[in-house]
Amino acid sequence: MKWVFDLKDEDTYWCSADIGWVTGHSYIVYGPLSAGATSLMYEGAPDYPQFDRWWRIIEKYRVNIFYTSPTAIRALIRQGDHWPEGHDLSSLRLLGSVGEPINPAAWEWYHRVIGKGRCPIVDTWWQTETGSIMIAPMPGAVALKPGSGTLPMPGVVPEIVDFHGYPLEPDHEGFLILRRPWPGMIRTIWGDPERFKEAYWSKVPGAYFTGDAARCDQDGYYWILGRVDDVMNVSGHRLSTMEVESALVHHPAVAEAAVVGKPHEITGQAVCCFVTLKKGDYDHTKLGVELRQWVAHEIGAFARPEEIRFTDALPKTRSGKIMRRLLREIVTSHTVAGDVTTLEDMSVVTKLAAQQDED
Ligand code: 7RM
C-alpha cells in the first residue's frame, strides 16, 4: 500500500472499487488502515445523479491518489469527455489500475483526460488468492511501461513456465506461477482442501498456479495476457481474447468488447465478438464489416472475426469482470447452464441467448 501508492501523510487516497470486491475490502479498508492513510470512501454509483459523480468527488475532496479499474474507465469513456472536463482534477498526482489488463485506449484516456498527462499510472496485478498487490511499480523507483505491471514486489518470485512447468525465455508467452510463498497467500478453500490442492498446487508441483497467461520481457517486466482459459486457437495460432478485444476497443465507435472462441470445423476455433458501442447512430451491417477488417488489419488475417454481435451490455461480475465462460456457452450451446451466481445482471444473458435464437 505504502510503496505502490507512494503514500505521504498529506495525501487523500481514494479507491473507487465496490466494497464487495476484494479490491474494495483490501484497498478501501485494510491497506489504508494499516498504512495510516487518509482514505476516502464512497458508497454509490458512478452515474448518480450524473456521470460526473467521481470527478465531482475528486474536485471537492482534493483527492491525490485515485485507484480504479479498466472496466470502469471504459464505461466512463463511453459517456464522453465533457464529464471530467467540467471539473478541476488538478489535485491528482497518481493513478492506479486493477482488475484486468488495461487496454491501450483506456490507458491513454486515463492518462490524458484524467491525469492531464502529469500522473503516473500504477498497474497493479494481484488476485483474491494473493491477498494483496504482487506485481506493480513503485513510482519514482521503477520506470513505467504502459500496459505492464512492471516488476514483482520485493519477496515475490513469479516465473513464466510452459505446460510442463519449465521456465520460458524472455518474451515467450506462458503460464504465470509464483515460486515462493508470501504473507497474504490463500491457505485453503473453505470445506474443500482437495480442490485447493488441485486448483493451485497440482499444475506445476511445488509452485502456486495463478491461472493467468503472461510474458516477461528482456527487462524483467511482466505483461499479463488474461486468464489461461481465455486463450483461443485459430488455425493453429494462439490468440488471446484480450488481444482481439483491445484491437476492437481501439476503434473510435467501440466502447467495450468481449471475445470468445467458437468451435469451427476448419480452423478449430473461430473468433466471435460481442461489442458495445459509444453513444451515436450506426449502420450495424456496415460497421460489422468494418470491424472485421479492422481486427484483421491490426492483428493479422488469421484473427479476422467470423462474427461481430452488437449488444447494449456484456455479462459481468459485480467487480466488472466479463464472464466469457457464459458467452462461450451462448455461442456453442445457445443456452446457459453453467454457474451464474457471480453474474450481476441475469437479464443481459437472457437477452443475448434470445438474440441468438432469432439469428
Ligand atoms: C485484484 C483482482 C484476479 C484476476 C487475475 C487477473 C486479473 C487483476 C490485473 C489483472 C492484468 C492487472 N482480484 N487481473 N489485476 N490482469 N493486470 N493489473 O482483480 O480475484 O478479482 O481477479 O484479475 O486475471 O488473475 S480478482
Residue 243 has pLDDT above 70, yes or no: yes
Distance 319 CA to ligand 1 centre (A): 10
pLDDT digits (tens, 9 = 90+) for 68-122: 999 999 999 999 999 999 999 999 999 999 999 999 999 999 999 999 999 999 9
Please, what sign has the CA dihedral across residues 107, 46, 77, 213?
positive
Atom of ligand 1 nearest to the CA of 26: 1
Distance 284 CA to ligand 1 centre (A): 33
Residue nearest to atom 13 of ligand 1 (CA): 127
pLDDT interval class at 222 (50, 70, 90) = very high
String of DSSP letters for 71-98: HHHHHHHHT-THHHHTS--TT--EEEE-
pLDDT digits (tens, 9 = 90+) for 285-297: 999 999 999 999 9
Distance 97 CA to ligand 1 centre (A): 10
pLDDT of residue 231: 86
Beta bridge partners of 256: 276
pLDDT interval class at 66 (50, 70, 90) = very high
Residue 357 has pLDDT above 80, yes or no: no
Residue nearest to atom 19 of ligand 1 (CA): 99
Distance between CA atoms of residues 150 and 142, nearest Å? 8
Tell me the domains of the chain and their CATH numbers: 2-123 (3.40.50.980), 158-220 (2.30.38.10), 227-358 (3.30.300.30)
- Residues 118-142 have a mean pLDDT of 97
Atom of ligand 1 nearest to the CA of 210: 25
pLDDT of residue 358: 63
Query: Pocket around ligand 1: residues whose beta carbon is below 6 Å from it?
Result: 22-23, 98-101, 123-128, 149, 210-212, 224, 227, 319
pLDDT interval class at 333 (50, 70, 90) = confident
- Residues 325-337 have a mean pLDDT of 90
Angle at 340 between CA 335 and CA 343, to 5 degrees: 115
Distance 123 CA to ligand 1 centre (A): 10
What length does the chain have? Answer: 359
pLDDT of residue 17: 94
Distance 186 CA to ligand 1 centre (A): 15
Contact by Cβ (8 Å): 218, 170: yes
pLDDT of residue 163: 82
- Residues 173-201 have a mean pLDDT of 95
Residue type for 139, please? P
pLDDT digits (tens, 9 = 90+) for 9-33: 999 999 999 988 999 999 999 999 9
Distance 300 CA to ligand 1 centre (A): 27
Contact by Cβ (8 Å): 247, 240: no
Distance between CA atoms of residues 322 and 249, nearest Å? 14
**Mean pLDDT (the chain, rounded):** 94
Residue type for 250, please? H
Cα 150 to Cα 232, 269, 337: the distances in Å are: 25, 32, 39
Distance between CA atoms of residues 262 and 109, nearest Å? 32
Contact by Cβ (8 Å): 16, 53: no
Distance between CA atoms of residues 111 and 235, nearest Å? 37
User: Which of 241-267 are b and which e, b meaning 16 or more Cβ less than 10 Å from the residue's Cβ?
Assistant: bbbbbbbbbbbeebbbbbbbbbeeeeb
String of DSSP letters for 137-181: --TTTS---TT--BSBPTT--EEEE-TTSPBPPTT--EEEEE-S-
Atom of ligand 1 nearest to the CA of 319: 21
Residue nearest to atom 6 of ligand 1 (CA): 100
pLDDT exceeding 70 applies to what percent of the chain?
A: 99
